Amino acid sequence: MIELRCENKLHGTMEDDVIEVRCDSRWCGKRPGVVIIHRFSIKGDLLETLRFKTPPHPAQGRKYNAAN
């Protein structure tokens, strides 16, 4: 897998002539708790758009118990 990145950010990946990028556009369905992934052919054609729930942070869901 080839990573497409600048000094500060991973912009996408490429594997088997498919480029995969994470989208942050609300028009594509991005909102809190949702990750949007676009897959493009090496020629630039949109192959598919995937939507996933953002996995919870390990510390989320734990409640502070003052008794402990």
In tens, the pLDDT along 17-67 reads 999 999 999 999 899 999 999 999 999 999 999 999 987 777 666 555 555
Q: Which of 44, 27, 45 is nearest to 36 (CA)?
A: 27
Place of tokens 């409640």: 63
Residues 35, 22, 42, CA angle at the centre, nearest 5°? 140
Whole-model pTM: value is 0.72
Rounded to whole angstroms, the Cα distance separating 29 from 25 reads 7
Rounded to whole angstroms, the Cα distance separating 46 from 37 reads 11
Average pLDDT over residues 6-19: 92
Per-residue pLDDT at 62: 59
Per-residue pLDDT at 51: 94
